[in-house]
Structure 1
Amino acid sequence: MIASFFRQKSSRSPDEEARILRKLSPNECFQSAQHSLRIYIGCALSCRYVIPEALLALDTDSFKHAIETAFARAILQHPALTVGRIDDNTKTPLWVHLDRIDFNNHITWSEPSEHAENSLSDVLEWQVNSPYLNLERQPCWRVVILKSLGTKFMDVVFAWDHSAGDGKSGKILHDTFLVCLNTPESNSVTLKNRSFDVPVTPHTPPMDQLINLPISPGYIISELSREFLPGLSTKPHAATWAPIFAEPAKTRLSWMRVTKEAFPSVLDACRMHKTTLTALLNTLLMVSIATRLSEDKARAFSCGTPICFRQFQDGKSDIDCNKTIMNCYAYWPFIFEKGLIAKIRQQFSDAKANPDSDSNLEDAVWDVAKTIREGLLAKLRQGTKNDTVGLAKFIGDWPSYFKGLSKTREHAFEVSNLGAIQGELPVNSDGKGKWSIDSARFAQSSPSFGAALTLNVISTKGGELVISNAWQVGTVDDEFARGVSSDIEMWLNRLGNTGCFKFA
């Protein structure tokens, strides 16, 4: 532990110092500062678990105990979910060991209303708006389990502060929980009054200790120049139509679904046009926003796409980043230039006037989606060299950094795609079914300084595609945001069902 390093700097007792595991990494400090300032709260990922027939006969208390025991076993496999945090409002917050975790502070059981989907939506929206408290005494995550009497499924909402892990971390936790549900014979955890002991284990190393993040002097100079050149207000792609306010605002969510019948055809169309779902979603967002905003409000757009960096792990470590809850991502920007936006607006107008010209816009959409995919591939080929995530170590005071940021928003939108959860029903050798996942939803806070609209994407193998759209109340008009959601849902389902977007 690094307690001896801090002994000279603090008045903590020896016991308090002995709990210190390590400093937060630069990227973790970036996230914790946003949480402390309420700029961004966190993520939430819900999965619908199909309950095996054998467990449906259990009484309520026995059922809850079995579920919570499995969840405790899952949590203990991920050190990032067993620790507390101190000095959160300073330049150097610290991860600390916790002796026990009490599920009374973390897991809530709820019986949804008659409209279960609405109840789930309400829970997810509450989670991405509610800060995490008492972090010095408890980990930064929460769970809500929605289970109605007589139903054969339960919805498990796992919510977490981004400083503990990125979006993929939520998938990793649900994957671990599913395995634990299907191996109930293990006696590795004993719950007493819904709490359990946390063994002393090494904390997960930060990304920069597992993945090389080289930065060249030329890149540093170019980024500094970009930072201190005239403000974003002079750039045509700045999202000036979505103002940044001094006080953080509430996140609102709307939901889109692509049916399980239509979704495979959407993926086939992406492959046929040599692109991906992420690239297509970015393109469709551009079309929707461009045709809903006038030219005087937005002549160009910038978007951002989180990219998982786990594939670049240094092979020397025993830790498998692909199975580890941590922050391990970078952010890739893309600009839709003025000429392209003007062309898209004109083609959309032409298609409305003459539906026969709709194919021109469709061709343009696929061309742009292919270009975005090629840009993403080029970024991945470049690897981790000269990425902004490598510059985080040069920021010594993240709270002050955020307070001094420009009040002009750069990105109009973001697409955060978690891919698919492998939730198909496995079968025992004796033919009895096990636990499985048949649907999922992903949401996150809308950041004060981030994209005006954030699309959060997830699917289940063989199931539907579910997308949430997050925005800040007052920053983006509710009717406008829901209109964008309606466009995306309509165009994707049309593509899957007919092979065409049919913009006209």
Structure 2
Amino acid sequence: MANKSNRGTETRVLRKFGINEAYQLDMYLIDQYRGTIFSCRYQIPPYLVPIESRTELEKAVKVAVVDTIMRHPMMQVGVMDATSKTPSWIQLESLDLTQHIKWLYIGEHDDFEQTVQEKVRTRLDDYFPDLVIKQPGWKITVVRQGNAPSMEVLLTWNHAQSDGAGAKVFHEDLLEMLNNAEKGAYERPGLEFDILKLTQAPPLLPDPIESLKSLPVDLKYLARAFWEETRPQFLNRDVSNAAWCPIRSFPDKTQFRAFFVDDVSLLAILARCRQNKTTITGLLNGLLLTAFSWHLDRTAAPTFQSSTMVDHRRNLPPAPPDAPWARCDTSTRLSTTTTQSPTSSDNKTDDSQKWSIIRAKFGLSAEIPAAAIEFASISVAGRGMCQRQLGRLCCRCDVWGTYHD
């Protein structure tokens, strides 16, 4: 299938949006979602640390991003007919990397942590370019201070394009590409300055989850859901509906809260989560739900709802063998260590030149499109305590967890 694009060339439709993809896109279009961020702090190899190596550093990051893009087709595609009932993923001819990779350099006396937090707030509040421009919905912002040995890499994306686990994979792959690249080899096929010409062969996209795994819903559940959506209000006995939730006609700004957990404590917490058949995300949801509940009047808010996300990757079949993203599954790595012989000076030298990740953060900007509190990793509304909110029956809050070693 082909249509004329705004550049006068034929647009190749790769496939229609899946059910969840269409839902995420619609949430963005009605301003329920904006940005989502996965940020990592990268330790820079010593030879790229000096200010004099700034150009070489930027080139090294750019080619590593290009290598990562080519591994993940979802970073290469655009959207067509976004506001229709059947939006589609389309093949793009090229990417202008100046629209996707931004560098922010700050002075030695500036507050680096404050700058990163402000950039996170800005990116979470930002809209992506108009979807008719036909470019992927992701951005990378790199924050660097003077000749510091580390830099912050913020990946922001439209939730229809990826999810949190996908962003984790991106950073893992970016780290791999940085360490595998040959020193000084900054040429890549199709890369001319900041324009990346994509292959003419259509990229192989992952299939929608509903086409890979049966997700049955019985008639009893459908009937109950229909009744809950259509019944008259006077028959609704659900006291968890947040009738007390304020409606404001102005948007609030994102608030940033960070906390740190050392390695030993993190491993102990993770072990207890596994014993109780939950995750750290579920634990954070429960803790925040409890904490916020103390700020609510029992009469006005006798109860409210709680829910958490589920990652279906474990239930899906393996990727096709020819898929560019097919690889052994990996877990979150916040730092990279190498086992070596203590007598090998060559290995020691090589290891000192490696990139590593020393901190990771995740943030989600989302609206809850109901008067009731639905507690996910996005958190909660309260009377006057909403961290971020628009003038609708919804709230927007951000929950941040930083694991630091």
* Residue 294 (structure 1) aligned to one of 294, 297, 319: 297
Tell me, yes or no, if the aligned pair for 1:47 and 1:174 is still in contact at 8 Å: yes
1:23 aligns with 2:16: yes
TM superposition shift of 1:283: 2.9
Counterparts of 1:262-273 in structure 2, within 5 Å, are: 262-270=265-273
TM superposition shift of 1:313: 0.9
1:358-396 deviation digits (Å, cap 9, x = unpaired): xxxxxxxxxxxxxxxxxxxxxxxxxxxxxxxxxxxxxxx
Q: Which has the higher helix share?
A: 1
Counterparts of 1:100-249 in structure 2, within 5 Å, are: 100-112=94-106, 114-135=110-131, 136-185=133-182, 188-199=188-199, 200=201, 201-231=203-233, 234-243=237-246, 249=251
SS at match of 2:95: strand
Give 2:80's aligned amino acid. Answer: I
Give 1:139's aligned amino acid. Answer: P
SS at match of 2:294: helix
SS at match of 2:307: strand
Give the whole-Å Cα distance in 2 for the aligned partners of 1:16 and 1:190. 19
Give the whole-Å Cα distance in 2 for the aligned partners of 1:21 and 1:296. 53
Give the whole-Å Cα distance in 1 for the aligned partners of 2:213 and 2:322. 11
RMSD over equivalenced CA pairs, Å = 3.6
Tell me, yes or no, if the aligned pair for 1:446 and 1:454 is still in contact at 8 Å: no
The sequence identity of aligned pairs, in percent, is 24
Tell me, yes or no, if the aligned pair for 1:242 and 1:475 is still in contact at 8 Å: no
TM superposition shift of 1:152: 0.3
Give the whole-Å Cα distance in 2 for the aligned partners of 1:73 and 1:421. 20
Q: Which residue of 2 aligns with 1:46?
A: 39
Q: Which residue of 2 aligns with 1:423?
A: 335
Q: Which residue of 1 aligns with 2:61?
A: 67
Give the whole-Å Cα distance in 1 for the aligned partners of 2:357 and 2:386. 24
Give the whole-Å Cα distance in 2 for the aligned partners of 1:214 and 1:317. 24
Counting matched residue pairs gives 370
Q: Which residue of 2 aligns with 1:344?
A: none
Give the TM-score, by structure 1 length. Answer: 0.65
Tell me, yes or no, if the aligned pair for 1:233 and 1:240 is still in contact at 8 Å: no
1:234-283 deviation digits (Å, cap 9, x = unpaired): 421123333466x7835513213133164344345546767653443233
Q: Specify whether residues 441 and 191 from structure 1 end up closer, same or farther in structure 2 by C-alpha distance, changes over 3 A only.
A: same
Q: Which residue of 1 aligns with 2:388?
A: 472
Q: Specify whether residues 206 and 240 from structure 1 end up closer, same or farther in structure 2 by C-alpha distance, changes over 3 A only.
A: same
Counterparts of 1:319-330 in structure 2, within 5 Å, are: none
Give 1:195's aligned amino acid. Answer: I
TM superposition shift of 1:158: 0.3
Tell me, yes or no, if the aligned pair for 2:273 and 2:279 is still in contact at 8 Å: yes
Counterparts of 1:458-469 in structure 2, within 5 Å, are: none
Give 1:62's aligned amino acid. Answer: E
Q: Specify whether residues 283 and 77 from structure 1 end up closer, same or farther in structure 2 by C-alpha distance, changes over 3 A only.
A: same
Gap runs ≥5 in structure 2: 341-345, 380-384
1:170-216 deviation digits (Å, cap 9, x = unpaired): 10111111111011137654532212111132233222222222233
Give the whole-Å Cα distance in 2 for the aligned partners of 1:290 and 1:105. 42
Q: Specify whether residues 277 and 315 from structure 1 end up closer, same or farther in structure 2 by C-alpha distance, changes over 3 A only.
A: closer
Give the whole-Å Cα distance in 2 for the aligned partners of 1:111 and 1:271. 41
1:443 aligns with 2:363: yes
Give 2:336's aligned amino acid. Answer: E
Give the TM-score, by structure 2 length. Answer: 0.79
Give the whole-Å Cα distance in 2 for the aligned partners of 1:304 and 1:251. 24
Give the whole-Å Cα distance in 2 for the aligned partners of 1:104 and 1:137. 15
